[in-house]
Amino acid sequence: KLQFLYFIVGREDMIRTEAEWKETLTPKQYKVLREGGCDDAGKGEYYRAQPTEGHFACSACMSPLYGHDAKFPCDCGWPAFSKCYTKHVTPRPEKSHGEGLEICCSNCKGHLGHIYKRRVEKDPEAQRHCVNSTSIVYVKTDPSEELVVGKVSMKR
């Protein structure tokens, strides 16, 4: 069940206490977005979805994260994206495993998933963002703001 949040993206009013997040998010959203949990592989709502328009936004704060054209079919078990709206996706060192990179919403700091290098012959810098369906919501229209599309730094 999608809960609409009323705020202006990117402003200080996105700072919330964990108690406020618990009130705002569903238990599953809280587990994934705030505690770094993970959807079951192959079970997410957007795993096989291939929209031809619109974008994907953070389910906690509605910041635009990925254009529809960045999503690609992948057998990793989670929705996979090759590029993002760089202003809204931030990588950070993985907390639990220590070697990988987790990706987070730049606006609300919610956990989105993980980022990996892809093996693409024509693009040695290719990326695969494996994102939890719980962390995102599909929006049928393009973002209202002009956004830079690209790759995020994978340097630790």
In terms of Cα–Cα distance, which of 117, 73, 67, 69 is closest to 88?
67
Catalytic choice (58, 61, 84, 130): 130
Q: Hey, what are 33's tokens?
A: 């977005």
d(CA 106, CA 100): 18
d(CA 154, CA 156): 6
In terms of Cα–Cα distance, which of 74, 78, 104 is closest to 89?
104
Q: Hey, what are 125's tokens?
A: 């810098």
Q: Is 38 a catalytic residue?
A: no
The residue behind tokens 């994102």 is 131
d(CA 3, CA 37): 19
Residue 86 dihedral angles phi and psi, to the nearest 5°: -60, -25
Report, as residue numbers or ranges, the catalytic residues: 130
